Amino acid sequence: MIRSLLRQGEMAVLLAVALVILPLLLLLPPWLPMLVLCMLALRAVLLRRQAVLPSLYLLLPLLLLAIGGLWLSLNTLVGREGGAALLILLLGFKSFESRQQRDWQVLLALGFFLAAMPLLFDQSPLAAVWLAISLLALTWAMLILSGEMVEGSLRSAMQALSLSLPLMLVLFVVMPRLPGPLWSMPHDQHVAGTGLSDSMEPGSISQLVQQQEPAFSVVFAERVPAVSEMYWRIMIFDDFDGRRWQNVRGLSSETVRWQGGRLVSYSLTGKPSKARLPLLEYTVTAPAGGVLEPGNLFKLARDGDELFRFQAESLLAGHYRTVLSRADQDFYRHLPPGNPASRQLALQWRAQGGDGAGFIRTALQYFRLGGFAYTLQPPLLNSEDGIDQFMFSSRQGFCEHYASALAFMARAAGMPARIVTGYQGGQFNPVGQFWQVRSSDAHAWVEIWLAESGEWLRVDPTAAVAPDRVAQGVSQSIPAMQPQLPVLGRSMPGWLLRVQQNWQAAGFAWQQWVVGYDAGKQLNLYRWLGLGDQVDSGTVLRAVLIGGSLACLPLLLLWRRRPSVPPLQQGRHRLVQALAAMGIVVVDSDGPLDILNKARRLPEPDYRQLKALLKEYAAMRYRQPAAPQQARQWLRRVKAFRPGRQ
Amino acid sequence: MQSLSLAYRQLNTLILGKPRAIRLALACLIARGHLLIEDLPGVGKTTLAHGLAAVLGLHYQRVQFTSDLLPADILGVNIYQRETASFRFHQGPVFSQLLLADEINRASPKVQSALLEAMEERQVSIDGESHPLPTPFFVIATQNPSEQLGTFPLPESQLDRFLMRISLGYPPPEAERALLLGQDRRTLLADIGATLTAADLLMLQNKAAALTVTPDLADYVLALLQATRQERSYLTGLSPRAGLALLAAARAWALLEGRDHVLPEDVKAVFPHVAGHRLGLSGDALGSLNKLLDHVAIP
């Protein structure tokens, strides 16, 4: 069939570059990639019609206009988003001044650079898959642009990419790591982070619960605790202003005496929020990379939003004994005025229960039997006496309501109490053999200090109201509310659950071995390979040399093989390309004489040269089938033929 | 070869402005094929046939076909000889080196098939006796496509006997002007002398048949045949015999171009004229064949 060979390579470049830009639709304000895609499409139309390109005097104001729009929508031209946006905009305009082969090559090079752009936003396996697709498309376009035949070009591109794969792996393994990930970019202001907030007021956790993003993942070494024992501590709130719980004090130090419990060791991977990562109750020694704060909380030495992984050991069901000074006790008993009915009830409980333990028993009994309901959509508590309203009239709430109420009651009864927030439970992924904890597992509970034993005792009132919440997770505990939970929060059919688990497992492995391949892992590998005890330039050079030469082995195999397209056909194609560059369109149904006939308007020396080449070609194909050697020599002469160059 | 180009030049002075048709006619004869000229009256069909006979130095006879023509009128007849009391065969006009069958579609199918059989067998059998035809033996038939009343169109199977079908068409204006101003064609014809002998022609025919055809070229011919077989608008595709005819015609064309091997361009030059009548296309419908040529890639 007639196929215009003219402009094939340019079309391929436009197509590949458009493919590269596609994922940015999700990562940048969508109008911008859309605009650039439209520009590329327009350029393709102009190319097809061989129309005149718009002049610089039109392009320049347009570019300024577009940059202005970009500034209005992002407020910046630098940083991750601003930079990416500006680059693709420039790419779109560059296509409109691409005329020569060299311009198109520049466009292609820009495409290779842009292909890595989505990695700055997302380092998931999906992003990697898209990167591979982009690279394939770009390599293919490069082949077509350099005059390769379309038939089999995709295969050649795949071959080229798979040949470079070993080298890529070697470089990935041996290149020295920076202290953080390469793309530890400044966080963009308008991107909201997820996680627990600094303070707790009604509704702050229930919003979190309706989200399904993974918060962190955990691998237990040997013993796995029961789900109801998994309390992940992140924050402590010790001050109540009548509506909101906050962390005011931040104890500078505490002396803790741990007692009893079973030792469980685990490793946790997660993105820190405000330099905090969860700890399993109660973690005795500070994991590497951070410090153990009073209240058994983990604070990282360095702030940042990249993934962090640590190993720790915790005492499950241990006793958290510490001495509180009188001032401290007063602090943990402090309450603002108001809520008289609740205060009275608290004193009543205290009198009934006798000691602290008795008080807690009575309180939990009250929550269990007092007609309380567990719901994500509680009525609004807006009066001055919110706790009274909750305890005596609405009686509907979520963990934060119960925790808040119980802490208030304990303080009202004269017992030091505080609220702990974090996560509770998790979901086991049997494929990847790890536990996934999600935003929906966010939780709040109470710690009450018992003067008798000098111990912070964990009390979870939510467990009393909705035991399933603690034993099985949110979705099991609120059947009535299920339609309001997003689809993933409901109990899933088995197959969907398996798909989800497989996907999570893949993501976990990816995080562990690819994104999480850091200097430490690298050093371990070096030791294991016997390359030395430290990653210095010498070892790197040695490794690159050894690995690089190993990676080049497949190239040797390829060199030994004959090219798949016979030299005569290759040469004809090259001639056709060379003529196309001169504006002479040759089609597949043209024989050598037809080609010569079409090329009559070539300058005289070029025409003579072409005539000789074509005469040889005709003779080798239609007179005396040529020896391979002869055909290759001819191909070499064809490659030297460059019409229009004086 | 020189005498061949001289013959070509002489024919061009006789039929003005039709070099391609003349070249095709010559190629047809060199490829040992019979020629069908399909055109309107008065564009020079007969003159071309005369001219060909004259330059090739061939013994030439002309038969005007009519509906009451009988096979014996063409082939000949056994006549009783009283003197010897035996039958003697009187050769018909077919016993000539070049037979011009004018308006072949006016004759009855019986006569047509008698002639076409003679063309294929190159001999005539009458009363159980075979009479070989002279060599070389050509038939140039003409027919007028626009007058259909009282004609017997040749069936496709018989059209196949003709290697090529060409049409002359109106001459270009300058040529026609020269024709109007120039000498009478009949006088010119009388002036044309034979530039080739029958022996020369046989030699040329042998030479053409020996031209090189490489596998690559055969692949191209195959691709063309395949394309006609896959094209929906044709009733049938080209037969293997048509493929051989195409190759023979391309060889003759290459010889006329002065080459010792066949190029795809030679195949393309003769293809519409070899394939047109075999695919049942009218003389005006050759555009579809040219389109086919544009679409079939040279392997």
- Of B208, B264, B251, B217, nearest in space to A625 by CA: B217
Q: Which residue has the tokens 């077919």?
A: B94
Q: Which one of the listed residues A238, A460, A573, A606 is annotated catalytic?
A: A460
Residue from the list A588, A619, A625 with its beta carbon closest to the beta carbon of B298: A588
Handedness of CA B48, B51, B57, B61 (dihedral sign): positive
Same domain, A271 and A145: no
Tell me which of A514 and A456 has the higher pLDDT. A456
Same domain, B198 and B266: no
Tell me which of B191 and A481 has the higher pLDDT. B191
Interface contact B215-A625, CB threshold 8 A: yes
Residue B43 has pLDDT above 80, yes or no: yes
- Catalytic-residue membership of A303: no
Residue A180 has pLDDT above 70, yes or no: no
How far is B269 from B154, CA to CA, in rounded Å? 25
Min distance A644 CA to chain B CA atoms (Å): 27
Residue from the list A593, A624, A625 with its beta carbon closest to the beta carbon of B263: A593
- Stretch A551-567: mean pLDDT: 71
Residue A203 has pLDDT above 70, yes or no: no
- Of A251, A255, A256, A293, nearest in space to A274 by CA: A293
Same domain, B85 and B181: yes
Handedness of CA A335, A341, A344, A346 (dihedral sign): negative
How far is B16 from B185, CA to CA, in rounded Å? 11
Answer with the one of A477, A495, A513 that is the final residue of a domain.
Answer: A495
What confidence score (pLDDT) does residue A43 get? 92
- The boundaries of the domain holding residue B146 are 2-209
Q: What percent of chain B has pLDDT over 90?
A: 22
Interface contact B261-A594, CB threshold 8 A: no
What confidence score (pLDDT) does residue A244 get? 82
Instruction: Give Cβ neighbours of residue A399 (< 8 Å, ≥ 6 apart).
Output: A205, A443, A444, A445, A462, A469
Residue A343 has pLDDT above 60, yes or no: yes
Residue from the list B212, B268, B298 with its beta carbon closest to the beta carbon of A623: B212
Amino acid (one-letter) located at A213 = E
Answer with the one of A432, A467, A495 that is the final residue of a domain.
Answer: A495
List the CATH number of the domain containing B284: 1.10.8.80
Same domain, B191 and B219: no
What confidence score (pLDDT) does residue A483 get? 40
Is the separation of the CB atoms in A214 and A438 below 8 Å? yes
Same domain, B78 and B52: yes
Answer with the one of B209, B244, B265 that is the final residue of a domain.
Answer: B209
For helices B45-56 and B2-14, the axis angle rounded to 10 degrees is: 150
What confidence score (pLDDT) does residue A353 get? 78
Same domain, A122 and A233: no
How far is A428 from A290, CA to CA, in rounded Å? 27
Write out chain A residues lying below 8 Å of B298, CB-based. Answer: 588-591
- Stretch B161-167: mean pLDDT: 90
Same domain, B112 and B205: yes
Same domain, A225 and A120: no
ipTM given for this complex: 0.85
Whether A314 maps to a domain, the answer reads yes
Residue from the list A589, A591, A624 with its beta carbon closest to the beta carbon of B295: A589
Amino acid (one-letter) located at B156 = E
**A with B: how many residue pairs have Cβ under 8 Å apart?**
48
What confidence score (pLDDT) does residue B248 get? 95
Q: Are strands A373-374 and A396-397 parallel, antiparallel or unpaired?
A: parallel
Extract the tokens encoding A462: 């939510």
C-alpha distance across the termini of chain A, in Å = 34
Is the separation of the CB atoms in B96 and B59 below 8 Å? yes
Interface contact B297-A621, CB threshold 8 A: no
Determine if the peptide bond prior to A374 is cis (ω within 30°).
Answer: no
Is the separation of the CB atoms in A227 and A471 below 8 Å? yes
Residue A224 has pLDDT above 90, yes or no: no
Amino acid (one-letter) located at A202 = P
Whether A282 maps to a domain, the answer reads yes
Residue B146 has pLDDT above 80, yes or no: no
Same domain, B29 and B172: yes
- Of B143, B66, B162, B158, nearest in space to B107 by CA: B66
Determine if the peptide bond prior to A605 is cis (ω within 30°).
Answer: no
Handedness of CA A11, A12, A18, A22 (dihedral sign): positive
Is the separation of the CB atoms in A356 and A213 below 8 Å? no
What confidence score (pLDDT) does residue B195 get? 84
Q: What percent of chain A has pLDDT over 90?
A: 13
Same domain, A396 and A482: yes
Least confident segment among A572-576, A617-621, A630-634, B149-153: B149-153
Whether A175 maps to a domain, the answer reads no
What confidence score (pLDDT) does residue B197 get? 84
Helix-then-strand count for chain B, H and E: 13, 9
Q: How many domains does chain B have?
A: 2
Same domain, A343 and A467: yes
Is the separation of the CB atoms in A153 and A143 below 8 Å? yes
* Selection from A65-74, A283-292, B198-207, B263-272 with the highest mean pLDDT: B263-272
- Stretch A85-98: mean pLDDT: 90
Whether A542 maps to a domain, the answer reads no
What confidence score (pLDDT) does residue A133 get? 93
Answer with the one of A132, A151, A170 that is the final residue of a domain.
Answer: A151
Is the separation of the CB atoms in A489 and A438 below 8 Å? no
Q: How many domains does chain A have?
A: 3
Write out chain B residues lying below 8 Å of A624, CB-based. Answer: 212, 214
What confidence score (pLDDT) does residue A117 get? 86
Interface contact B297-A588, CB threshold 8 A: yes
Extract the tokens encoding B6: 């001289």
Interface contact A593-B265, CB threshold 8 A: yes
Residue from the list A2, A588, A592 with its beta carbon closest to the beta carbon of B263: A592
Interface contact B298-A623, CB threshold 8 A: no
- Stretch B11-38: mean pLDDT: 90
Same domain, B63 and B200: yes
Same domain, A344 and A217: yes
How far is A272 from A304, CA to CA, in rounded Å? 7
Same domain, B172 and B28: yes
- Catalytic-residue membership of A443: yes
- Beta strand ranges found along A271-385 (DSSP E): 276-277, 279-280, 290-293, 297-300, 308-316, 319-322, 373-374
Interface contact B260-A592, CB threshold 8 A: no
What confidence score (pLDDT) does residue A487 get? 42
Interface contact B268-A591, CB threshold 8 A: yes
Whether A580 maps to a domain, the answer reads yes
Q: How confident is the model at residue A264 (pLDDT cuts 50, 70, 90)?
A: confident
List the CATH number of the domain containing B151: 3.40.50.300
Min distance A566 CA to chain B CA atoms (Å): 12
How far is A593 from B262, CA to CA, in rounded Å? 12
Is the separation of the CB atoms in B237 and B225 below 8 Å? yes
- The boundaries of the domain holding residue A305 are 199-495
Mutation for testing the A interface, residue in B265, B266, B292, B293 having most A CBs under 10 Å: B265
Q: How confident is the model at residue A466 (pLDDT cuts 50, 70, 90)?
A: confident
How far is A42 from A30, CA to CA, in rounded Å? 18
Residue from the list B214, B268, B295 with its beta carbon closest to the beta carbon of A622: B214
Whether A479 maps to a domain, the answer reads yes
- Summarize pLDDT for A304-316 with one digit per residue, the tens: 767 788 888 888 8
Residue of B nearest to A2 (CA): B295
Same domain, B126 and B271: no
- Catalytic-residue membership of A399: yes
- Stretch A536-554: mean pLDDT: 77
Instruction: Give Cβ neighbours of residue A335 (< 8 Å, ≥ 6 apart).
Output: A240, A408, A411, A412
Q: How confident is the model at residue B163 (pLDDT cuts 50, 70, 90)?
A: very high
Same domain, B292 and B176: no
Q: Which one of the listed residues A238, A399, A401, A441 is annotated catalytic?
A: A399
Residue from the list B212, B214, B297 with its beta carbon closest to the beta carbon of A589: B297
Whether A552 maps to a domain, the answer reads no
What confidence score (pLDDT) does residue A197 get? 66
- Summarize pLDDT for B4-13 with one digit per residue, the tens: 888 888 888 8
Same domain, A127 and A42: yes
Query: What is the CA A478 to chain-centroid distance, rounded?
Result: 31
Instruction: Give Cβ neighbours of residue B152 (< 8 Å, ≥ 6 apart).
Output: B67, B105, B106, B107, B108, B109, B112
Write out chain B residues lying below 8 Å of A627, CB-based. Answer: none
Is the separation of the CB atoms in A278 and A308 below 8 Å? no
Percentages of chain A per state (helix, strand, coil), in multiples of 5: 55, 15, 30
Same domain, A324 and A452: yes
How far is A588 from A8, CA to CA, in rounded Å? 14
Interface residues of B toward A, Cβ cutoff 8 Å, are 212, 214-217, 260-265, 268, 293-298
Write out chain B residues lying below 8 Å of A2, CB-based. Answer: 294-295
Write out chain B residues lying below 8 Å of A589, CB-based. Answer: 293-298
How far is B199 from B20, CA to CA, in rounded Å? 25
Same domain, A269 and A382: yes
Extract the tokens encoding B253: 């064309």
Percentages of chain B per state (helix, strand, coil), in multiples of 5: 50, 15, 35
Write out chain B residues lying below 8 Å of A622, CB-based. Answer: 212, 214, 216-217, 261-264
What confidence score (pLDDT) does residue A479 get? 45
Instruction: Give Cβ neighbours of residue A264 (< 8 Å, ≥ 6 apart).
Output: A220, A221, A223, A224, A225, A280, A313, A314, A315, A316
What confidence score (pLDDT) does residue B254 get? 94
- Of A317, A309, A318, nearest in space to A288 by CA: A309
- Stretch B155-167: mean pLDDT: 85
Answer with the one of B209, B227, B253 that is the final residue of a domain.
Answer: B209
Average pLDDT over all residues of chain A = 81
Rg (CA), chain B: 20
Same domain, A227 and A82: no
Answer with the one of B193, B209, B225 that is the final residue of a domain.
Answer: B209
Whether A271 maps to a domain, the answer reads yes
Same domain, B157 and B236: no
Same domain, B188 and B261: no
Residue of A nearest to B220 (CA): A589
How far is A19 from A11, CA to CA, in rounded Å? 12
- Summarize pLDDT for A495-521 with one digit per residue, the tens: 887 887 788 778 777 877 787 777 777
Interface residues of A toward B, Cβ cutoff 8 Å, are 1-2, 587-594, 618-619, 621-625
Contacts 24+ apart (CB under 8 A), B38-41: B38/B142, B38/B143, B38/B144, B38/B145, B38/B165, B38/B166, B38/B167, B38/B277, B38/B283, B39/B142, B39/B144, B39/B145, B39/B167, B39/B168, B39/B169, B39/B283, B40/B144, B40/B146, B41/B144
- Of A605, A575, A603, A607, nearest in space to A591 by CA: A575
Secondary structure class of A214 (helix, strand, coil): strand
Write out chain B residues lying below 8 Å of A592, CB-based. Answer: 263-265
Residue A484 has pLDDT above 50, yes or no: no
Same domain, A237 and A94: no
